[in-house]
Amino acid sequence: MSVTNDNCEMPRAKGEPGGLHIGVIGGGQLGQMLGLAGVAMGHRFTFLDPAYEPPAAAIGRHIQAEFDDAEALEQLAVECDIVTLEFENVPLASAAAVAERNCLMPGPQALAVAQDRLEEKQFFEGLGLGVAPWVQVDSVRDIVQGVAHLEGASILKTRRFGYDGKGQVRLADPAHAAHEGGPGNPGEAASAWEALGGAPAVLEKMIDFEREVSIVAARSRTGEIRFYPLATNEHRAGILWQTVIADDEPLQREAQAAARLVLEKLDYVGVLAIEFFVRDGHLLVNEMAPRVHNSGHWSVGGARSSQFENHIRAILGWPLGDTAPAGAAAMLNLVGRMPDPEAVLAVPGTSLHDYGKTPRPRRKLGHVTVTGPDHITLESRLDRLRALITPPEAG
């Protein structure tokens, strides 16, 4: 089934022959890696990003402008053959403006769902997918009542713009807190509300889960879908620290079924990631990201076709590449400081990716991908790497 919109004909080069000119909203490390994959296939890139020298600027032309700059958005839409994005918090008005002048993939509909946790949870539930119990929060009173309703420890999350542990406040289980000043107390609720700036939020019940996993999937504008292996993720201080591809056929099938529902309901084109909690041997959806994803970085060197290559293939309507792993594979994020590159590369099966960013606490500076012929060898190599790499710190 074709998923091409009326204003999204198959792209043809407007300028130089032999490749397409791809516009990307965002110029961070994800844009950088999209560009590296696309340049290898003969394409050219223009990135729109407000930073002075974002990582992707080394790969193609850089339009330095805010994401709501109408003139810059017009320039990107007019000069490029097709436009995509590398992060989900693009203003919806900006996405719509680009989509009116050019083909934007993924489109504004996916952004609208992913940018708002309330919309996202309602979307998942509408598809019959399980999520952790939650309540909508628009006031301090909603927090007090929500804590009582959820009956346990909970986490307050802003509806918009939360990532890497930001925009969240944890509330302890009222049954284990002091009667005075506990989470159900208006004073504690007011403090949590104030910590999030009084922004609309959702309150989620904190559940006991076995592990966190994610699936990365690609859907082409022709309707072809491919799935990468399910990955097990470990976070430190709210930031992804380690991803190891899993070998769990029942959960793989369940994750693929959920991803297929999301992809087809949204008429989605490109790479999309969905994060889950594993509980009692089944999956609960946590959230989705309508873009290439940190937990899929292992695919660069660890899969036969990376998530970045498949995103480019998908938006152009080209056949998708093989997502099978080339053995056991994992990824470690480099956060806050870079390790000694020689020591890292001395570990067999590793590849080092430096985004070219200025170091600062909690900033993702790069990642290391490591592969092995089997999981025992992989774990041995991971042990050596973890001794060299500082995990994310709270802050």
Task: With CA atoms as reference, report the closest residue to 159 among 131, 133, 138.
Answer: 138
Backbone torsions φ then ψ of 313, nearest 5 degrees? -60, -45
pTM: 0.92
Residue 81 Rama label (left phi>0; alpha psi -120 to 50; beta): alpha
Would you state the pLDDT for residue 26? 97
Task: With CA atoms as reference, report the closest residue to 231 among 275, 279, 292.
Answer: 275
Q: Give pLDDT < 70 ranges for the chain.
A: 1-7, 12-18, 162-166, 173-187, 394-395
Would you state the pLDDT for residue 3? 35
Residue 128 Rama label (left phi>0; alpha psi -120 to 50; beta): left
Q: At 48, is the secondary structure helix, strand, or coil?
A: strand
Q: Give the Cα separation of 191 and 162 in Å (integer).
A: 18
Residue 199 Rama label (left phi>0; alpha psi -120 to 50; beta): beta
Q: Give the Cα separation of 247 and 159 in Å (integer).
A: 33
Would you state the pLDDT for residue 191? 83
Would you state the pLDDT for residue 178? 42
Q: How far is CA 312 from the centre of its chain?
A: 16
Taking residue 285's Cβ as centre, other Cβ atoms within 10 Å add up to: 23
Would you state the pLDDT for residue 146? 87
Would you state the pLDDT for residue 1? 32
Would you state the pLDDT for residue 393? 80
Task: With CA atoms as reference, report the closest residue to 295 among 325, 274, 322, 266.
Answer: 274
The 10s digit of each residue's pLDDT in 227-267 is: 999 999 999 988 999 999 998 999 999 999 999 999 999 99
